[in-house]
């Protein structure tokens, strides 16, 4: 859900939370996704290996745009994070 909040902030050019939060979160979410994929115990292998590889490719196609949006939101949106643009949540 936090990733979707970051994509929302990037898409609509709204400052949500803090720029440093998104920098740290990007590293966290990439490491989480890689470790979750590699360390899971459900590898079937054998004839179902093709389905596993296909599912990994599909997930990568879904997640890479999210990573790019959060990267651009945290690292490349300097003007967005100016103090006068910060949304105040009441």
Tell me the domain boundaries of the chain: 2-80
Which alpha helices (DSSP H) does the chain contain, by range? 2-11, 19-39, 49-75
Residue pLDDT, tens place only, 25-55? 999 998 888 888 767 656 655 567 777 788 7
Residue 86, classed as helix, strand or coil, is strand
Residues 6+ apart with CB under 8 A from 49: none
As a whole number, mean pLDDT of residues 69-87 equals: 75
pLDDT of residue 77: 75
pLDDT reading at 87 higher than 70? no
- Distance, in Å, from the CA atom of 67 to the CA atom of 6, rounded to the nearest integer, reads 10
pLDDT reading at 83 higher than 70? no
pTM of the model: 0.72
Residues 6+ apart with CB under 8 A from 41: none
Count CA atoms closer than 13 A to 71's CA, side-chain side.
8
pLDDT of residue 45: 59
């Amino acid at each position: 859900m936090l990733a979707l909040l970051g994509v929302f902030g990037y898409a609509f050019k709204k400052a949500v939370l803090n720029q440093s939060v998104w920098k740290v979160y990007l590293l966290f979410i990439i490491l989480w996704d890689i470790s979750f994929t590699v360390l899971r115990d459900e590898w079937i292998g054998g004839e179902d290996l093709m389905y596993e590889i296909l599912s990994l490719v599909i997930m990568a196609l879904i997640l890479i745009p999210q990573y790019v949006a959060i990267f651009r939101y945290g690292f490349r949106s300097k003007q967005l994070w100016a103090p006068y643009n910060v949304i105040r949540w009441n």
